[in-house]
Amino acid sequence: MEFKTNNEGIESWKEVTLVYNAALRQIETKMEILNDEFQHVHQYNPIEHIKARIKTPESIVKKLKRNGYESTIENMVNYVNDIAGIRIICSFTSDIFRIADMISDQRDIKVIGVKDYITFPKASGYKSYHMIVTVPVYLSDRTVDTKVEIQIRTVAMDFWASLEHKMHYKFEGDAPEHIKNELVECAKLVSDLDARMLSLNEEILSMSHGTQKAIV
């Protein structure tokens, strides 16, 4: 897959992969450090696991064409916000906003966009918290502020989203109505499960704290 190049900034697909992979590694490392610190301070890990990926050239071209842009490196960097993507999976809905705040508080990470599908789910039932951020990548001759899309969701939300993604590609966005309706119902079950698990966890924690005070 070839892209037309320009004379400024990132000029080739190899350089794109270099810079965006570096940005992903930085975000991943930051999240791992914050997770370790949270364990040290609170004896609890808010992050279950992290998935990272670079968008394929074919997917980038499709997205550019869909939005009416020519397939150039410049347009790719300027108009495709999810070339580098990180998905952060956590246990409870309360962790989602906690992690988002931790990311926002990083001095060298700049948040340039947020879509809160937790508070305002999509009609399909999709729930996730999306952030577009930039992180500086320090090369030998310059610094490149590089965009990364971060998605934060619970394990249950991720399971549901994985099935929706498969369905979307299987039916090319035109799934049978009964399947779409069933998926919406599953989303409601996932939301209820997340709420009940969070409530149960909070009850367990309150009982644990009470036991510790009694021992002291």
126 phi and psi angles, rounded to 5 deg: -60, 130
**pLDDT band at residue 52 using 50, 70 and 90 as cut-offs:** very high
Percent of the chain scoring above 90 in pLDDT: 69
97 phi and psi angles, rounded to 5 deg: -75, -30
From the list 59, 75, 86, the residue with the least C-alpha distance to 9 is: 75
Q: Which domains does the chain carry?
A: 13-157 (3.30.460.10)
CA 203 distance to own-chain centroid:
29
Whole-angstrom Cα distance, residue 78 to residue 112? 13
> What's the whole-number mean pLDDT along residues 110-115?
97
pLDDT (0 to 100) of residue 3 = 47
135 phi and psi angles, rounded to 5 deg: -130, 135
pLDDT (0 to 100) of residue 88 = 97
> What's the whole-number mean pLDDT along residues 74-90?
95
Q: Which strands, in side-by-side order, build the sheet including 84-90?
A: 47-54, 84-90, 143-154, 129-138, 110-116
pLDDT (0 to 100) of residue 176 = 86
Whole-angstrom Cα distance, residue 195 to residue 199? 6
**pLDDT band at residue 54 using 50, 70 and 90 as cut-offs:** very high
pLDDT at 216 over 50: no
Q: What is the pLDDT of residues 163-210, one digit of tens each?
A: 988 887 777 777 788 888 899 999 999 999 999 999 998 998 888 765
pLDDT (0 to 100) of residue 2 = 46
Q: What is the pLDDT of residues 7-35, one digit of tens each?
A: 445 668 888 999 999 999 999 999 999 99
**pLDDT band at residue 1 using 50, 70 and 90 as cut-offs:** very low
